Amino acid sequence: MKLSSDKKARLKWKSLDVLYVLVSILLALVAGGVFILITGNNPLQAYGIMFSKAFSSFGQVLRRATVYILTGLAVSIPIKTGVINMGGEGQVAAGALTAAVLGSAFMLPLGIHPIACMLGAMITGAVLALIPAVFKTRFGSSEVVTGIMVNYLVQYLLQYLSMYTFRGSANSAQTAEVFDSAKIARVGDAQWSYGLFIAIALCFAMHFVMSRTRVGLEMQSAGLNPLAARYQGVNVGRMSMLAMALGGAMAGLGGSLEVLGGRYLYLDTYFASYGFDGIAVSYMAKNNPIMIIITAMFISVLKVGAVALDRQTNVSVHFSTALQGIFIILLVSPYIVQAIVAKLKPKRKAQLTAEE
């Protein structure tokens, strides 16, 4: 009896959350429609182009989503611990370069090579993420500001490295292609690789860590109430460093999966905006690792669709970014959506007040 009502309550909350996200998406699409109208296009037609493109090349959607899932995790783990990882942008690119270099510099046995590349990428990401974390716990400086600054450092460093040190092409700033032994197999003839499964598995792993382990409990307590956490003996500083390192590793891994299973090389600026989009992915999922799988897909659909939109109409490819922005504004101003959700369910509300 008790358990079933318990489960019901939880289900109700979950479904409310989903409804919440769905309403936000709908509102964002409506608002985006107004923008499209202003550009002189038919919104319905434009959305039609976007979504049909996204579904006709779903492989591309999945390939991008692989990275988004991991840059999303890169934000959600730290944020649950009370620190904000703004450095995803640098971490994902630096991880990608690391993987490309390790994959093209030498040969390793088939199974081991990609793993070595991924591990290298994760370490790179973790080290980069630790910079703002250490500055925060040691000197109290804002991890947001330091994180963004580190992004710039990394951006130009990577430009230099891909242009000179590891340049593998005569024409552009890119590395050589990784050896076959380092590649992650594509699924059939599709665009996407088995890397997607690694990303999804990590979502479930992170969910497990957060809900079933001591370290997950401590990380979340540090994020939700650092004082109470300290009273229970949690080392809040160490937890934020751990969370940042984990997040950085996720972003680095994301970069490496695109290199090993998609592009096969590192190309300068290729990874631009993947890290920042991770913030949106995590935010839309309310930082829930499982929900991230869905929101990463959604962002990916928008991005892939926007490219088609750009090609076939005069709506710019940046339209997807605008949509994303509107969407996030709606999510951070819960009252707008709450009011609408409440109106959608007038009967239920009346029922509730009657029960009281």
Q: What residue ranges bind another protein (CB under 8 A)?
A: 2, 6, 10, 212-215, 217, 220-221, 224-225, 227-234, 353, 356
Q: Which CB, 20 or 274, lies closer to another protein?
A: 20
Q: Which CB, 214 or 343, lies closer to another protein?
A: 214
Q: Which CB, 197 or 231, lies closer to another protein?
A: 231
Which tokens belong to 48?
Answer: 């039609």
Q: Which CB, 140 or 233, lies closer to another protein?
A: 233
Which tokens belong to 199?
Answer: 């990303």
Least distance to another protein from the beta carbon of 211, Å?
Answer: 9
| Distance, CA of 346 to CA of 134 (rounded, Å) | 50
Least distance to another protein from the beta carbon of 61, Å?
Answer: 34
Tokens 């990401």 found at = 125
Residue of 74, 303, 108 lying closest to 199 (CA atoms)? 74
**Which residues partner with 335 through β-bridges?**
none
Q: Which CB, 214 or 347, lies closer to another protein?
A: 214
Least distance to another protein from the beta carbon of 127, Å?
Answer: 24
Q: Which CB, 213 or 269, lies closer to another protein?
A: 213
Any idea of the CA torsion for 332, 148, 142, 80, to the nearest 10 degrees?
50
Q: Which CB, 230 or 238, lies closer to another protein?
A: 230
Which tokens belong to 241?
Answer: 């460093």
CA distances in angstroms from 139 to 75, 169, 215, 266, listed in the order given: 22, 43, 24, 35
Least distance to another protein from the beta carbon of 184, Å?
Answer: 29
Least distance to another protein from the beta carbon of 347, Å?
Answer: 17
Which SS3 state, helix, strand or coil, does residue 86 take?
A: coil
CA distances in angstroms from 59 to 63, 64, 77, 278, 305, listed in the order given: 6, 9, 27, 20, 13
Which tokens belong to 335?
Answer: 């009252």
Which tokens belong to 55?
Answer: 């579904």
Residue of 114, 295, 94, 293 lying closest to 199 (CA atoms)? 293
| Distance, CA of 96 to CA of 271 (rounded, Å) | 8
Give residues with Cβ within 8 angstroms of 351, minimum separation 6. Answer: none
Q: Which CB, 212 or 343, lies closer to another protein?
A: 212
Least distance to another protein from the beta carbon of 327, Å?
Answer: 24
Long-range contacts (CB closer than 8 Å, 24 or more residues apart) made by 286-290: 286/17, 287/75, 287/76, 287/79, 287/80, 288/76, 288/207, 289/73, 289/76, 289/77, 289/203, 289/204, 289/206, 289/207, 289/210, 290/203, 290/204, 290/207
Least distance to another protein from the beta carbon of 43, Å?
Answer: 38
Least distance to another protein from the beta carbon of 230, Å?
Answer: 5
Least distance to another protein from the beta carbon of 329, Å?
Answer: 24
Q: Which CB, 2 or 347, lies closer to another protein?
A: 2
